[in-house]
Amino acid sequence: MAEALKITECPRDAMQGLHDFVPTDVKAAYINLLLQVGFDTIDFGSFVSPKAIPQMRDTAEVLSKLDLSATRSKLLAIVANYRGAEDAASHEEITYLGYPFSISETFQLRNTNTTIDQSFDNVKQIAALCATKNKIPLIYLSMGFGNPYGDIWSTDIAKEWTEKLVKEGIYNIALSDTIGIATPEQISSLYPALAKEFLGVQFGVHLHSTPDTWLDKIAAAHESGCTRFDTALKGYGGCPMAADNLTGNIATENVIAYLLHQNIELGLDLDKLQEAMDYSSRIFTK
């Protein structure tokens, strides 16, 4: 039986780079609408340094305002070190602790101020914490399709780090293209190569793109067997270090339209989706 298709909606990724602070009540109201749509998971916030990501300094308060009484969606929080993982793990409502593990040394230093080896130690500690706190570690294989820094990348390198992660009990991995450089050919090559070799792992994709390149990337992932997609309404967000300011998350509504065209039943409340899209204009401006 084929695995059901899962969409992770990422308001955290969409909001984290905004210059103006989004009021806590506005964040919570937006996420509460998203919780009613029926997404598998909501990437709702992060427990990271408020100096590094000031937009997410109120994540715990936002969490306290979420209505989880009538949703099937699970909550995902991003962490950048063990301390953040401890904070996130203290909240019963959170299912996934997400950690960005880059296979580019340069980006790992830029993103979490740690080397790859130090970051891997963080992964091991976070995985151990999750085991004691009934949480699921989700590791983003960041710069998984290459990088703009000249750091060596290959499918073999991605496989080597995936194998190390699996040996540490990591069974949820998102192949991440942080700045939108992945080609459909790379996706069609790397995704099945990993999925076939590591059969017990649930792989997803966290892809960024420009507005005119998303379709080929999503189609390549879907045709390669991917059933887990990270998206954000209207394609908001993206990495502040992206070379192209049009590079952002892949728009949720586009992916939904593509999948519905493939006659895939998603079980989403499209009316609530429209409400959330309408409300998003209170947070994001062009």
The string of pLDDT tens digits covering residues 187-197 is 999 999 999 99
pLDDT of residue 14: 94
pLDDT of residue 1: 46
Q: Residue 205: name the closest of 247, 255, 163, 246 by CA.
A: 255
The string of pLDDT tens digits covering residues 117-150 is 999 999 999 999 999 999 999 999 999 999 999 9
Instruction: State whether the Cα torsion 155-159-160-164 is positive or negative.
Output: positive
The rounded distance, in Å, linking the Cα atoms of 63 and 51 is 20
Helices (H), the chain: 11-15, 24-35, 59-64, 82-89, 105-112, 116-133, 155-167, 184-197, 214-223, 252-261, 270-280
Q: Does domain 6-280 have CATH number 3.40.630.10?
A: no
pLDDT > 90? residue 242: no
pLDDT > 90? residue 3: no
Phi, psi angles (nearest 5°) of residue 33: -65, -45
Instruction: Compute how many other C-beta atoms are within 10 angstroms of the C-beta atom of residue 86.
Output: 16
pLDDT of residue 237: 84
Question: pLDDT band for position 179 (50/70/90)?
Answer: confident
